[in-house]
Structure 1
Amino acid sequence: MQIEISPTRRRMLLGAVQALAGLAIAGTASATETPPKMTVTRDPNCGCCGKWVEHIKAAGFPVEVVQVDDVMPLKTRLGVPEALMSCHTAEIGGYVIEGHVPAEAVKRLLVERPKATGIAVAGMPIGSPGMEVPGQAPQTYEIVIFSAGRQSVFARYRGVQQV
């Protein structure tokens, strides 16, 4: 049985295909746009924080650095769980980034946009961005996604490579 498509239906189908193609192209363009500005709050005496900021800037993030003597009030206000606290706290796109989180994980967070307060790398794992130690192999560590009363593993990394 042969089905004829009237010119009107054919035009609608062609229009839908063109619209989908346009959306796909627009999605590709937005993925290459400059990410939103990141505000990093850090202690002015911490060298590893500066190295982490360099890592983030090298990944294309525009960064504003705020230096304060005590970052704890900010961490508390933003809802960073005590067990996940590290040496610096960043804010970007409505999320909190705590500690030595690789830039690729931040990009993933901004693309996926999960309902969460933010992501964190607890402590200062050797080999994480800003914590590179010549002659020492990078440690494997977890990036935790967190919200009030909820935490789970977002990703596992060794150095700047996801594992």
Structure 2
Amino acid sequence: MKLTLIAAMLAATALLAGCKDAGPAKPETTALSDSAGNAAALTLTVYKTPSCGCCKKWVSHLEQQGVVAQTKDYDDLSGIKERYGITPQYYSCHTAVSEQGYAFEGHIPAKYIRKFLAESHPDAIGLSVPAMPLGSPGMEVEGRFMPYDILLLHKDGSASVYAHISDAAMQ
């Protein structure tokens, strides 16, 4: 009986250890200044998978625009997306979260994130560029461009078009 109890306790401990946060203990942080030399006013935490190349390119886009990007690698991002209210039809390969708690899903140009945060959106959870449109920041492929919409995600689970990006110059 004692042996069975000890085995059960060890198994429970092992299972609970597997539920521990898989993210890094210390996020990677890059602080850049804007073109005038001022400290960047926008910080985003970017949740991505360790091997995603386009996520790394999108983070580079953010940094080039003066955004401070703290990256956290996870093997499975579905829990992060669910925590911030992003439903599967709006998923992309990474999720960024502002200090105000807004979620930014996918390859959104930095200027639209800044614009969104400068506005009032009491019924929104954030923005999304579902999937991975060719030519969007981080998805540049041999000069190819596919027009796409940036969606405004509402707290009720619906979405509306926030901006239509018809050419690369709009990014």
Instruction: String of CA shifts for 1:56-110, please: whole Å, max 9, x gaps.
Output: 1111111100001111110011100211100000001321000000011101001
State yes or no: 1:94 paired with 2:101: yes
Give the corresponding residue for 2:125.
117
Structure 1 residue ranges, 4+ long, deviating more than 6 angstroms after superposition: none
Out of 69, 77, 92, the residue aligned to residue 75 of structure 2 is 69
Alignment TM-score, normalising by the size of structure 1: 0.75
Residue identity in the other structure for 1:123: A
The residue identity in structure 1 corresponding to 2:134 is: I
Q: 2:165 aligns with which of 129, 142, 157?
A: 157
CA contact (8 A) 1:128 1:159 kept: no
Taking only aligned residues, the RMSD between alpha carbons, in angstroms, comes to: 1.7
d(CA) in 1 for partners of 2:103, 2:146? 23
Q: Which AA in structure 2 matches 1:105?
A: Y
Report the number of matched residues: 131
Structure 2 contact 48–73 (Cα < 8 Å) conserved: yes
Work out which of the residue numbers 36, 57, 61 in structure 2 matches 1:51.
Answer: 57
How far, CA to CA, are the matches of 1:135 and 1:119 in structure 2? 25
Q: Note closer, same or farther for the CA distance 1:131–1:159 as it changes in structure 2 (3 Å cut).
A: farther
Equivalent residue number for residue 4 of structure 2: none
2:85, 2:157 within 8 Å by CA — same for their partners in 1? no
The 8 Å contact of residues 135 and 143 in structure 2, kept in 1 or not, is answered as no
Task: Check whether the contact 1:155–1:162 (CA below 8 A) recurs between aligned residues.
Answer: no
The whole-number CA distance in structure 2 between the counterparts of 1:87 and 1:70 is 10
Larger radius of gyration: 1
The answer to whether structure 1 residue 144 and structure 2 residue 151 are counterparts is yes
Aligned equivalent of 1:134, options 134, 137, 142: 142
Question: 1:36·1:62 contact (CA, 8 Å) conserved in 2?
Answer: yes
Whole-angstrom CA distance in 2 between matches of 1:114 and 1:162: 22
Structure 1 position 158, deviation (Å): 3.6
> What is the correspondence of 1:19-38 to structure 2 with a 5 Å cutoff?
34-38=40-44
Q: Are residues 90 and 105 of structure 1, via their aligned partners in 2, closer, same or farther at CA, if it must alter by over 3 Å?
A: same
Structure 2 length-normalised TM? 0.72
Q: How far apart are 1:47 and its partner, in Å?
A: 0.2
Q: CA deviation at 1:160?
A: 4.3
